[in-house]
């Protein structure tokens, strides 16, 4: 496989990460508003400015929202979690392919 093709696929993974980021900025704020309005204990745990706070993102990645047993919360947080995983996976694979292109060149 040529270096150009590897970089093309790396660019595709960046595009996938951008799609994940689009979904993330839709569902994560909705999740945080739902938590703020209906689950004050979790809101206190996540703290102010939880949008990009590492502990709040860790809570989302661990699936901490499942402990609450609120179907509305799960319905908002699950797509946010999937989109965050898509961002991380897309950027990781793009980075690996870029590194492979550098090594091959």
Structure confidence at residue 1 (pLDDT): 76
Q: Are 94 and 17 in contact (CB under 8 A)?
A: yes
The pLDDT of residue 52 is 94
Secondary structure of residue 2 in the 3-state scheme: coil
* Alpha-carbon distance values, 68 to 4, 23, 39, 85 (Å): 48, 23, 9, 21
Q: Say how many domains are in the chain.
A: 1
- Give me the domain span that covers residue 30: 3-104
Question: Whole-model pTM?
Answer: 0.92
Q: Is 70 helix (H, G, I), strand (E, B) or coil?
A: coil
What's the chain's average pLDDT? 96
Percent with pLDDT over 70 in the chain: 100
Dihedral of CA atoms 24, 39, 61, 64 in degrees, nearest 10, equals -160
E strand or H helix that includes residue 97: helix 71-104
- How confident is the model over 47-67, as a mean pLDDT? 96
């Amino acid at each position: 496989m040529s270096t150009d093709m590897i970089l093309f696929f790396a660019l595709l993974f960046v595009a996938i990460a951008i799609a994940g980021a689009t979904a993330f900025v839709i569902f994560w704020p909705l999740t945080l508003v739902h938590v703020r309005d209906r689950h004050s204990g979790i809101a206190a745990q996540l703290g102010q400015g939880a949008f990009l706070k590492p502990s709040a993102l860790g809570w989302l990645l661990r699936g901490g929202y499942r402990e609450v047993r609120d179907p509305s919360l799960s319905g908002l947080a699950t797509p946010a979690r999937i989109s965050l995983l898509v961002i991380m996976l897309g950027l990781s694979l793009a980075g690996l392919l870029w590194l492979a292109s550098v090594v091959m060149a």
